[in-house]
Structure 1
Amino acid sequence: MSVVRKFRAPNRLSALVKAGGGKLAKDALAAADAAMEPLRAPSLAVLDAALAEIDRRFGQSAASARNAEAHATLYALALRIIDVSGFLPGSCVDQAAISLCALVDGCAEAGVWRWDAVDVHIHALRLLRTSGLTPDQRRAVIQGLNKVSQRRLGDA
């Protein structure tokens, strides 16, 4: 009769966890924040440039030149805002840009543009970026934008 033997390979991670030492989580987070700080200004410049480009090409001032075929451009600009909005924690700018992406998707699928809803999103993005709103006010803006972007074309 044979004997069953079980082999267990050593786990390096488990050994490191048991060993102790290393950085404290708060120190690691502080180091990560310090490493990210040089990226803050350029990222906010990208955000502001994307918002200005959206306003210039798709805002009310460009109402006569709006191009429904450019939905991919509007979507890409909103994604650019999402990409760098991590430098504005708690501002809800990222959520507003996500709502704008949902609106663009819905309009592109339906083949009908709701430029009034795009205008609302542009104004809200500007407001969230520059204003000193309270967290409750920011949440209310996002809830309103989500309602606007989710409204079907046939709804009143």
Structure 2
Amino acid sequence: MSVVRKFRAPNRLSMLIKAAGGPMAQDALKAAETALEPLRAESMAVLDAALAEIDARYGKPAAATRAGETFQDLYVLALRIIDVSGFLPGSCVDQAALSFCALVDNCIEANAWRWDAIDVHINALRLLRTAGLTADQRQAVIAGLNKVSQHRLDDAN
């Protein structure tokens, strides 16, 4: 009768993990935060510029001319906010921008602007960016935005 023998090839990664001397996870995270810090101010400037451009082109101040703007440009501006919102963890700015993208998608499908919903999203993004809201309040804002963005023009009131 033969005996079953199992062979295991050495795994370099597991050996490195088990080896002593590497940086602690918490130290590596602190180093990563430190490395990202110089990008924070630039990213906040990009976010604020995108919000300002959205308001100038699609907000209430542009009510007389905003109908001539394109859906795609608004979508790109909302994506720009998503790109840099990682520097505001827990702010829900990223989720609000995702809801904004969903709203623009619905506008594209209907080939019609929903100015009231766009104004709500602009105001909510500004609020989430600057206000000292609690986590529950932020989640309530996001829940409301999601309802607004998912409402279709052809839905019954």
Q: Return the TM-score normalized by structure 1.
A: 0.92
- Whole-angstrom CA distance in 1 between matches of 2:104 and 2:113: 8
| Whole-Å separation in 2 of the counterparts to 1:155 and 1:36 | 47
The CA distance in 2 between the partners of 1:8 and 1:139, in whole Å, is 49
Q: Distance in 2 between matches of 1:18 and 1:130?
A: 45
Deviations 1:31-54 (A, max 9, x none): 000000000100000000000000
2:43 corresponds in structure 1 to: 43
Aligned residue pairs total: 155
TM-score normalised by L of structure 2: 0.91
Gaps of at least 5 residues in structure 1 are none
Root mean square deviation of aligned Cα: 1.8
Instruction: Note the C-alpha offset of 1:9.
Output: 3.8
Secondary structure, aligned partner of 2:64: helix
Q: Which runs of 5+ in 2 are unaligned?
A: none
What letter matches 1:18 in structure 2? Answer: K
Q: Percent identity?
A: 73
In the TM superposition, what whole-angstrom CA distance separates every residue of 1:47-105 from its partner, at most 9, and x where no partner exists? Answer: 00000000000001111211366111100100110110111111111111000000001
Tell me the residue number matched to 1:18: 18
Instruction: Identify the range of structure 1 (13-22 vs 98-107) with the bigger mean alpha-carbon deviation.
Output: 13-22
